[in-house]
Structure 1
Amino acid sequence: MHLRYGMNPHLPASVTPLRPGEWPLEVVNGTPSYLNLLDALAGWRLVAEAAGVFGRPAAASVKHLSPAGAALDGPVDEVAAATFGLGSADAAGLSPVARAYVRARDTDPQSSYGDVVAVSAPVDVTLARLLRRKVSDAIVAPAYEQGAVDILAAKKGGRFLVLRTDPAYEPPGEEVREVHGLRLVQPVDKLRLTPELVRVDTTGRPLPARAVEDLLLGQVVLRHTQSNSTVYVRAGMTLGVGAGQQSRIACTRIAGAKADAWWERRKQRPGEVAFGSDAMVNFRDNVDEAARHGVRWFAEPGGSIRDDEVAQACREHGIGLVRTGVRLFRH
C-alpha cells in the first residue's frame, strides 16, 4: 500500500502488515496518508465495537485520532436533516447506516469538516449521496453496495479516499509502539464493555434503560478518544466530545459547549443527558459543570481521594452517579 506522505507532507512514509500478506483493510479509491490510516483505523475500531455492543449500525466522524461525533442508528430530527439539505420525506427514506452517520456528524459539524467517516455497515447509495454533500477526506466501511463507490470516487476530483476493512480480521495480541529508540509493548485491551458496568448507581438504584444505553455508548466512545476525554450522550448519539486536554475540567467545558450548541440549533433548553469520563474525577467542578448542561447520569471509574466530594456534588444536583471501576485512557 502506497502512502502519499507521513504525519506532515515533508515526511515520506510507508506501511506494511505485521503479519506478511494480512492487511486489515484495502484501498478502493484514492491514496492514503499516514494520518488518514490512523484516523480510519481509530474510527473503525470505535464503530465496530459500538455495533457489536448494541446490535445496531454505528457511525463516527473522526478528526485527529478522536471522534468529533459518534452515534447509533436512530431517529433523525429536522435540524440534523436540514444540515444535509433534506426535507422530512427525504429523512424518512434514509437507510439505518445513513441515519447513524447523520446523527454522528450532527454532534459538531464544524469539527467534522474534512473528517474521516467510519461506519459499521455496508455503505449504500443513500449514504454515498449524503457524503457527496459534505467536505470529507475519507471513509472506511466493511463493504460498499453497487453504485456507492462510483459516487464517492468522484469527490475531491477523484482523490476521495475509500477504504474497505475486513470485519473478520483479528490483530496480533500485542500492541507495539516505538518512540525515540524505545519499544513499548502491551497486550491488546480485550475488556468487554457491558451494560452491567453502568446499570446501577452508587446508591444501588437501577438506572432507566435509556440511561444505561447512553452511559454505555459513552464508555465505548471514550475508549476510542484521546485522553483526557469526556462525553455527553443522549438518545444513542454524542452531543459533545472533549478530547486530548491536559485537565479534565477543560474537556468537560469543551464538550459541554458543544452540547449547548446542539441544543441551541434546536432552539431548546438542555434536556436529560448522560455524561462519561475516561478516568477518575478528582474534583467536584466536573460535576458542577456537567449539571449546567442537563446531565442526569454520570459515569466515571472512581478511585479518587475525593470520591466522597464528587458523590456529594452529584446528590446536590440530583445526578445518578455510576462508578465503573474501569479506566479508559487512550494515548
Structure 2
Amino acid sequence: MAPSPFSFPAEDEKFAIEGLTFDDVLLLPAASEVLPDAVDTKCRFSKNINLNIPLASAAMDTVTEARLAIAMARHGGIGVIHRNLDIEEQANEVDKVKRSESGMIVEPITLPPHATLAQAEELMGRFKISGVPITDEERKLVGILTNRDLRFETDYGRNISEVMTSDGLVTAREGTTLEEAQVVLGKHRIEKLPIVDEEYRLIGLITVKDIEKKIRYPDSAKDERGRLLVAAAVGVGAGVDDRVAALVERDVDVLVIDTAHGHSRDVIEMVAKVKANYSVEVVAGNVATGDATRALIDAGADGIKVGIGPGSICTTRVVAGVGVPQ
C-alpha cells in the first residue's frame, strides 16, 4: 500500500532542521565569459506554459488585476488575477487580458445591423474598442461601425444599419499573415481588417493596434492564438466549481489553487478534479516540503507554488509559526 500523503513526521524531523534564508547566503563570484545580452531568461511557469522572463505577480487584491496582468505579459511574465472578487468580476478581468491584444482576434465582438447606436457605444466603451464588425444571423459580414461613424451623431436610437460603413468594405481572406495585413491596412488607411471565409462569414479581425503592440513588445508572453497569457487564483471553498468553470470559459491559461497550506486533502482533491474535467494548466500551493510537492505532483499539478509567507504583506509564517526559511 502506498504511503499516505498525510502521514505525520517525527518530532525531530519537524524541529531539528537547519534552515537558511536569502540573507544567510551569498554566491561567490567567479570568472565568466558570458555577456549580459547572451543570457536567456526564458523559463516555465508550469509544465506547458513558457515565459520569457522569470517573473509572476502575486494573486493579491492589492497587486494583480487585468491592468498589471497585461503589463506583466507584455514584458514576458505572467500575472495571477486574485480571487477576492465575485466569480463574474474575476472572469471579466481574465477576459480583459485575453482581449487586450491578439495576433488575430479569432472571436471578435460583433453586433447585428438592427442594434441601436446606443448599444454600440455602450459595447465599445465597455471593451475599450474603437469599432465593431456588423454581422447578420449567419455571421456574414455586412458592415463595420467605428468611432468615426459616430462622431457627429446625435440620435443614438437609430439602427446601426443606417450609419455603418457597408460599401467598399476592405477585407482579407482566411490565412492572411500579420505582415500581409499590415500592408493592406497601410494601403487603405484603415485601422481594422476583417478576416472572412469563402462565404464572407467573419472569422477574425486584425487591427493596427495589435500590430503596433507586437512591434513594441517583442518579448511578450502569448498563447498559441497570439493573446497575452494570464493566470487566475481559486481556492477550495464553496462556489469554487462555478468559479473554475467561468475562468476556463474565458480561456484562462493557468488556474492557481492558492491556499496557505497546500499539503491538505481539499487542495489535493481539487487539483485532481480540475485536471480530470478541464484541459487547463494547474499550479497548486503553497507548500514548504518535498512531501507536499510530491503529493501535489501525484495529483496532477503542472506546477508547484513553493514558500509560506514570511513578510510584511503575506504573514502566514509569522502569524501561524509554520513554514521554513526562504
Q: TM-score, normalised by structure 1?
A: 0.30
Structure number with higher relative contact order (C-alpha < 8 Å, ≥ 6 residues apart): 2
Q: Which entry has the higher C-alpha Rg, 1 or 2?
A: 2
Q: Which has the higher strand share?
A: 1
Q: TM-score, normalised by structure 2?
A: 0.30
